[in-house]
Structures are given as C-alpha cells and as structure tokens.
Amino acid sequence: MSPIFEFLFGQYEGYETYQITLEAVAVLFGLASALFSWRNSIWVYPTGIISTMIFVYLLWQWELLGDMIIQGYYFVMSVYGWYIWTRKVSPTKHTPITKATKKEHAIAAAIGFASLIGVFCVYTIFEKWTSWTAYVDTLTTAIFFGGMWMLAKRKVENWLYLLVGNIISVPLYFVKGYTLSSMLYVIFIAISILGYIAWKKHLYSDKVIA
C-alpha cells in the first residue's frame, strides 16, 4: 500500500464497509448542498438534509456526540431555512439576500454561546472530555451554529462564519480519523470564499434558484 494512501486512509482499516460507503455518500450530498448554497439554489436544503441524516447516524455509532449535535442542528436549520427561502415577503418577492445587522450578529453570537453550554453539558454528562479535540469541537459547534442561522436568514455574512469553521475543521476531522470529511472541508473553504463573493454581488436580490 502506498505510504501516502496509508497516511490518508489508514484510519479506515477498522471500519465496516457500509460505514465508509455511508460517509462517502454523506460527503457527496454535503458537497452538493454547499454548491447549491453558493448558487443561491433552494436545493441546498434537501441535499443538506440527506447529508445530515446520514452523518447523524454515523456519528451516533462512532459516539462523537458533539459532531452529532452539530449535524442534528444542521437538520433542524435546513428545515427552517427551506421555509424561510421559499416564504414570500410579498406576492411576488422571496426573502432577499441582505447584510446582517448588529442585532442579528448578536443573535448569532447568542446561539453560538448557547451551543457551547449545551455541548459542555453533554460532554460532561457522558464523560467525553478525553481529548483536546473535544474542546475544539465546542468552538466549531458555536461557529457553525451561528453560521447556519445566518444562512437560513439569507445573510451574506454566513459565509464568513462558515469559512472560519471550515478552516478549523480540516485538521480536526483528519486527526479524528475521517479523511473523507476532512477533504470535504477543504472544498468547503473554497466554496465559502466563492459564495461570499457571489452573494455580495446579489445583495438585496430576492431571486431564489429552483
């Protein structure tokens, strides 16, 4: 076996084939969801829901409670965002892309802080403070919780929140042993940058691609 291949994928040696397959499928749907988000397409949500459902199942099996909470939140926010994006603010207009106000940034921060407390309680109850990755998990959870809320509200700054979380997640998921997911976050970094640029060009647009 190639040393490079062993370095990247050796951690999958003890996994069941169906688990690796499911992770690959979840990664593909997660990538599709990110691309649809970049294009401002409503398909960001149905593809994202499929990805999160698979990840919730896998993370429950792997006993990664913090990550499972994040994916469960993604599922809830995907349903909420689907509603917001399709809701018409007038007979002919959907919710537009806008900049976040100070109040909305404060709400995102409050959501993130609440997630810190929630993950802390879960990790304490189930005695999961066994690695430094658990502490980083709480940070990425807070960032992604705020970012996903911003995405659902169609705020252009959602991409900045997600960019920070994606950058942290690349080495985090690799250290945890999930190379496919780590590679996905590398792609997410690029999409976050491109998405921010694209959305800024379409500020105050109410068009949602079907």
Query: In the structure, what pLDDT confidence band is assigned to residue 178 with cuts at 50, 70 and 90?
Result: confident
Give yes or no for residue 79 having a pLDDT over 70: yes
**Mean of pLDDT values over 140-162:** 94
What pLDDT is attached to residue 64? 75
- Three-state DSSP state, 11: helix
Instruction: State the pLDDT confidence band at 4, using cuts at 50, 70 and 90.
Output: low
CA 98/CA 86 separation, integer angstroms: 16
Determine the residue type at 25.
V
**Which contacts (CB < 8 Å, 24+ apart) does range 2-10 have?**
8/179, 9/179
pLDDT at 90 over 60: yes
Of the given ranges (66-70, 103-107, 132-136), which has the lowest mean pLDDT? 66-70
64 or 195: whose pLDDT is higher? 195
Query: pLDDT averaged over the chain?
Result: 88
Q: What is the pLDDT of residue 80?
A: 93
pLDDT of residue 188: 93
Q: What pLDDT does 8 receive?
A: 55
Cβ neighbours of residue 93 closer than 8 Å, sequence gap 6 or more: 206
Q: Tokens in use for 67?
A: 């990550």
From CA 125, how far away is CA 57, in angstroms rounded? 21
Exposed (0-12), middle (13-18) or buried (19+): which is 145, by Cβ within 10 Å? buried
Cα angle for residues 100, 101, 103 (degrees, 5° grid) = 120
Question: Is there a contact between 161 and 189 (Cβ–Cβ < 8 Å)?
Answer: no
- Of these ranges, 2-16, 28-42, 67-81, the one predicted with the greatest mean pLDDT is 28-42
Q: What are the residue boundaries of the structural domains of the chain, listed by start?
A: 3-201
In the three-class reduction of DSSP (H, G, I as helix; E, B as strand; rest coil), residue 93 is classed as strand
Can you read off the two tokens belonging to residue 206? 């109410």
Tokens standing for residue 91: 């007979």
Please enumerate in sequence order all residues whose Cβ is within 8 A of that of 78, keeping only pairs 6 or more positions apart, or say none: 45, 48, 49, 52
